[in-house]
């Protein structure tokens, strides 16, 4: 009896533009969950580039089709999708770099392998928590109340920068002294000029902000949500995100997505009031 050869399996290929059709097919299997990864392909392609927001895609294959994908970003961020069993070789290659990853956001079922990779390189996460991934579609949008939310302008750069620093300190437990405000100001300026930051102002005071973290032709990933502590409990986030979502839907966006710390009950409640529905569970890890 002749045994059939096992399926061809390349452990950790660095993907290139030649692999784009296979990568597109793989990501299209889960369009909601792959929004961030699809946005990277849409904006910058597949091959490694010097773009700050980009990096390199690694892929595992079986019988000519991708089964798992890992994105190792130039800013030392890590994201993944696919079969958990095929992830370890991709992680080994991603961590074999002069500046290995520090931040992981990906499926909860990948957490164990990622945690082991961090530990192997002597960098156990100081932050390791469950994130809920939510999706909003036009039919589910509930809140129709008006909001004074508007695109941020260049004169708002300092207010946006300080709000982002406060959010980083509060949400990621990064001490304010460890935050590079000059770099944060540069990023805020670039994102404002690109029309990706939206704010609610009370005179000169920024009371609420949100940002377009990633975008594809069909979806938008919400990020950078922050309400000034002195203005919380007034529904600013609920009305602001709802108004922004409504405008995005009118422009042709088919869904919005975001992830939030499971323990952040006020934020979870606000998103659910808007109409966001839970889609999956992620894990967020951050090391020094």
pLDDT value of position 70: 97
Residue after which a domain boundary falls, among 124, 147, 179:
124
CB 125 within 8 A of CB 287: yes
Q: What residues make up the domain containing 144?
A: 138-282
Both 172 and 223 in a single domain?
A: yes
pLDDT value of position 47: 87
Strand partners, 23: none
Domain total for the chain?
2
pLDDT digits (tens, 9 = 90+) for 179-206: 999 999 999 999 999 999 999 999 999 9
What are φ and ψ of residue 215, in 5° steps? Answer: -150, 140
Give 53's pLDDT tier (boundaries 50, 70, 90). Answer: low
Spatial separation of the C-alpha atoms in residues 64 and 71, rounded to whole Å: 19
- How many angstroms from the chain centroid is the CA of residue 173? 18
Q: What CATH number did the domain enclosing 90 receive?
A: 3.40.630
Residue after which a domain boundary falls, among 93, 124, 155:
124
Residue appearing with tokens 């909601």: 32
Both 118 and 229 in a single domain?
A: no
β-strands 277-286, 103-107 pairing = antiparallel
Q: What is the pTM of this model?
A: 0.92
Which range is least confidently modeled, 4-13, 17-26, 241-250? 4-13
Q: What would the two tokens of residue 252 be? A: 């042709």
Q: What CATH number did the domain enclosing 250 receive?
A: 3.40.630.30
Distances (CA, A) of 180 to 59, 172, 194, 228: 33, 14, 21, 20
| Top-confidence residue, 21 or 2 | 21
Both 110 and 197 in a single domain?
A: no
Is the per-residue pLDDT at 268 higher than 50?
A: yes
- How many angstroms from the chain centroid is the CA of residue 106? 9
Residue appearing with tokens 């934020």: 267
Classify residue 4: in a domain, yes or no: no
Classify residue 132: in a domain, yes or no: no
Classify residue 44: in a domain, yes or no: yes
Both 144 and 119 in a single domain?
A: no
Both 164 and 91 in a single domain?
A: no
Spatial CA neighbour of 78 closest among 50, 113, 47: 113
Angle between helices 265-274 and 236-250 (to 10 degrees): 40
% of the chain surpassing 90 pLDDT: 86
Spatial separation of the C-alpha atoms in residues 257 and 276, rounded to whole Å: 8
pLDDT digits (tens, 9 = 90+) for 80-122: 999 999 999 999 999 998 889 999 999 999 999 999 999 999 8
pLDDT digits (tens, 9 = 90+) for 123-162: 889 999 999 999 999 999 999 899 999 999 999 999 999 9
Spatial CA neighbour of 117 closest among 144, 89, 75: 89
């Amino acid at each position: 009896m002749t045994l059939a050869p096992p399926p061809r399996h390349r452990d950790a290929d660095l993907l290139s533009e030649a692999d784009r059709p296979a990568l597109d097919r793989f990501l299209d299997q889960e369009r909601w969950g792959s929004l961030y990864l699809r946005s990277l392909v849409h904006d910058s392609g597949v091959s490694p580039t010097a773009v700050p927001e980009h990096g390199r895609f690694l892929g595992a294959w079986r019988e000519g089709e991708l089964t798992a994908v890992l994105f190792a970003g130039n800013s030392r961020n890590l994201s993944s999708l696919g079969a958990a069993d095929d992830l370890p070789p991709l992680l080994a290659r991603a961590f074999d770099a002069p500046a290995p990853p520090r931040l992981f956001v990906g499926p909860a079922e990948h957490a164990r392998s990622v945690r082991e990779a961090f530990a192997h390189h002597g960098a156990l996460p100081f932050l390791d928590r469950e994130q809920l991934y939510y999706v909003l579609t036009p039919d589910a949008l509930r809140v129709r109340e008006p909001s004074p939310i508007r695109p941020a302008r260049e004169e708002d750069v300092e207010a946006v920068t300080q709000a982002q620093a406060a959010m980083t300190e509060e949400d990621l437990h990064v001490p304010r002294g460890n935050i590079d405000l000059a770099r944060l100001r540069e990023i805020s300026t670039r994102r404002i000029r690109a029309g990706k930051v939206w704010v609610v102002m009370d005179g000169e005071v920024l009371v609420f902000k949100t940002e377009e973290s990633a975008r594809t032709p069909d979806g938008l990933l919400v990020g950078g949500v922050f309400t000034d502590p002195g203005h919380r409990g007034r529904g600013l986030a609920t009305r602001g995100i709802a108004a922004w979502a409504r405008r995005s839907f009118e422009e042709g966006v088919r869904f919005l997505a975001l992830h939030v710390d499971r323990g952040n009950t006020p934020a979870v409640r606000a998103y659910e009031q808007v109409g966001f529905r839970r889609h999956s569970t992620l894990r967020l890890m951050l090391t020094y």
